[in-house]
């Protein structure tokens, strides 16, 4: 029982310490109720914050996915023109993007989980705050200050524990969201820079190209290249073929049958 017992004791001690006791115990009731309502506002704001982060991740996933689709189309086209070097470049970039999309998918699931948890926490707290309010009014109407103490302690016990729990849930959600904000910011910059826009228009060798290439998986690229070749029926090109220097637009006009 030791771990459960120890955590229970520590948690309860903290939750009780958070309660300020007024001279007239009945005043403590009103004061505590105020704090409960504040906590309810806080947890609702927490839900909204997490939802905002989730939507941002969704937007990024959509943008990256669209970019990824575009690169696939470019690779197909390049292969159709016999430009395996360009196709490989596009697929390399796509592979790098896919790593980001996978990462975002995990983040999205985490944020969704946090959102759900906080929503439920907010519902539980609301039900408890309402129950507390009813009990508070009964106590104030029925008992003298001296008599009220026992009833008040009973009413406090459950709610203070819930407040501690909800406070902790909000803190955890904030921490997780903050960790993701920094990464989301980096992806926004990558998207805004236009670096992901077009494999054929990019100067190879810049920072972003290197970054994307570092993220990409060679095996993925080669496998997809092979699959594309199979699909388009393009002739296999020896990898020793020197990359053609002319821009893709020009090659495009030289239609192959």
**Binding stretches for other proteins (CB under 8 A):** 1-8, 10-12, 14-15, 17-18, 113, 117, 120-121, 123-124, 126-128, 130-132, 135, 154-155, 157-159, 161, 164-165, 167-169, 171-172
CB of 127 to other proteins, least distance (A): 4
From the CA atom positions of the chain, what is the Rg in Å? 30
- Pick 100 or 122: Cβ nearer other proteins: 122
Backbone angles phi, psi at 243, to 5 degrees: -60, 130
- Pick 2 or 203: Cβ nearer other proteins: 2
Q: How far apart are CA 152 and CA 55, in angstroms?
A: 43
CB of 141 to other proteins, least distance (A): 18
CA angle 83, 88, 89 (to 5 degrees): 100
CB of 130 to other proteins, least distance (A): 7
What is the maximum alpha-carbon separation in the chain?
Answer: 97
DSSP string, 103-170: HHHHHHHHHHHHHHHHHHHHHHHHHHHHHHHHHHHHHHHH--HHHHHHHHHHHHHHHHHHHHHHHHHH
- Pick 133 or 229: Cβ nearer other proteins: 133
- Pick 6 or 210: Cβ nearer other proteins: 6
- Pick 22 or 120: Cβ nearer other proteins: 120
CB of 37 to other proteins, least distance (A): 16
Q: How far apart are CA 21 and CA 31, in angstroms?
A: 9
Question: What does the block give as tokens for 74?
Answer: 């470019």
CB of 13 to other proteins, least distance (A): 8
């Amino acid at each position: 029982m030791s771990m459960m017992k120890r955590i229970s004791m520590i948690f309860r001690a903290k939750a009780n310490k958070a309660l300020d006791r007024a001279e007239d115990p009945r005043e403590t009731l009103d004061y505590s109720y105020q704090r409960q309502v504040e906590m309810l506002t806080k947890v609702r704001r927490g839900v909204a914050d997490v939802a905002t982060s989730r939507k941002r991740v969704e937007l990024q996933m959509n943008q990256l996915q669209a970019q990824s689709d575009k690169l696939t189309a470019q690779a197909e086209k390049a292969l159709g023109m016999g430009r395996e070097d360009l196709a490989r470049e596009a697929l390399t970039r796509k592979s790098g993007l896919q790593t980001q999309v996978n990462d975002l998918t995990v983040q999205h699931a985490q944020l969704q989980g946090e959102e759900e948890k906080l929503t439920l926490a907010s519902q539980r707290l609301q039900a408890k705050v309402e129950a507390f309010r009813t009990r508070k009014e009964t106590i104030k109407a029925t008992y003298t200050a001296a008599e009220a103490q026992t009833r008040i302690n009973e009413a406090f016990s459950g709610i203070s524990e819930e407040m501690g729990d909800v406070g902790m849930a909000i803190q955890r959600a904030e921490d997780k969201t903050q960790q993701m904000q920094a990464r989301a910011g980096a992806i926004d910059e990558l998207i805004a820079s236009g670096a992901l826009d077009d494999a054929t228009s990019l100067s190879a060798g810049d920072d972003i190209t290197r970054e994307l290439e570092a993220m990409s998986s060679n095996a993925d690229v080669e496998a997809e290249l092979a699959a594309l070749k199979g699909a388009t029926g393009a002739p296999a090109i020896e990898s020793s073929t020197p990359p053609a220097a002319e821009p893709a637009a020009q090659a495009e006009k030289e239609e192959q049958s």
